[in-house]
Amino acid sequence: MSKIPTFNLNDGNQIPAFGFGTFKIPADGSTKAAVATALRLGYRHIDTAAAYFNEQEVGQAIAESGIPRDQIWVTSKLWLQDYGFAAATTGIETSLRKIGVDDIDLYLLHQPYGDVPGAWQALEAAQKAGKIRSIGISNVTPKLWQKFVPDFAVKPAVNQSEFNPYFQQKPLRALMAATSTVLEAWAPLGQGDPELFQEPAITKLAAKYGKDAGQIILRFEYQSGVVVFPKSVHSARIASNQDIFDFALTDAEMASIVALDRGHGRHDPDAPGVAERLLNAFDVHAN
């Protein structure tokens, strides 16, 4: 798949290590245009979700790109409203229809609350039926991992969670290593946190390698074995974000960024009330 490296998943598939995120890009033509630009610039991994309300525009951009379907990795996610076996089975079919594809490369449980076991069984069945190639989870903390994952028949290929130099998920990654589950980063650039971009450890390396701070951060994450898919609607930024494969950080330079870890992020999936708030946050059936 293009020039972008891949990581091996525990199910035998290979996922592009770098992709394009579509969170909060509106479905008013903006998503279609941004994904079309990303594909034209060499991206081959697109991340969407039912709760982003833009699956259809992602599919349109892919269909009109002229790129063979088997060269584009598509990820989507099931929202909480559709948990439980029957509802999840319908939700998977809805994503397939909206994206306009026969199969989805990676499908995730977007949030770890409610009837997670039933929803996971639906993902397992869809994988067995060839409708999904790889299945995974998202926003799963060590506590939630221990609650659900040991009982899964098929272990998650991926866990998509908050990750950046300030929040490196060390306890979680230690658990995931036992099942060879790959971490995907959301907020890989710390949601544009100015403090992170001005860290001396990062700006020093940016000057050394002739890169910007964002590229140093993304390179650190790639070298940490983490899949990243930064989002942008600006062509120049879409192009520059993936320009991280022509240099490598040394072990000492990696260690200098590892030292920035604060051990916590902006979102705490274990916090009281999060499940209820998220369940009421979106009505994916209104789309």
Catalytic residue IDs: 52
Of 110, 40, 41, nearest in space to 75 by CA? 110
Alpha carbons 96 and 103: distance in angstroms, whole number: 7
Token output for 24: 């909060």
Token output for 43: 């991206």
Alpha carbons 208 and 74: distance in angstroms, whole number: 35
Return the axis-axis angle of helices 200-209 and 213-223, rounded to nearest 10°.
100
Q: Residue 153 contacts by C-beta under 8 Å, 6 or more apart in sequence?
A: 121, 124
| 3-state DSSP assignment of residue 193 | coil
Main-chain dihedrals φ then ψ at residue 225, nearest 5 degrees: 80, 20
Q: Is the dihedral of CA 198, 199, 203, 204 positive or negative?
A: positive
| CA terminus-to-terminus distance, the chain | 32
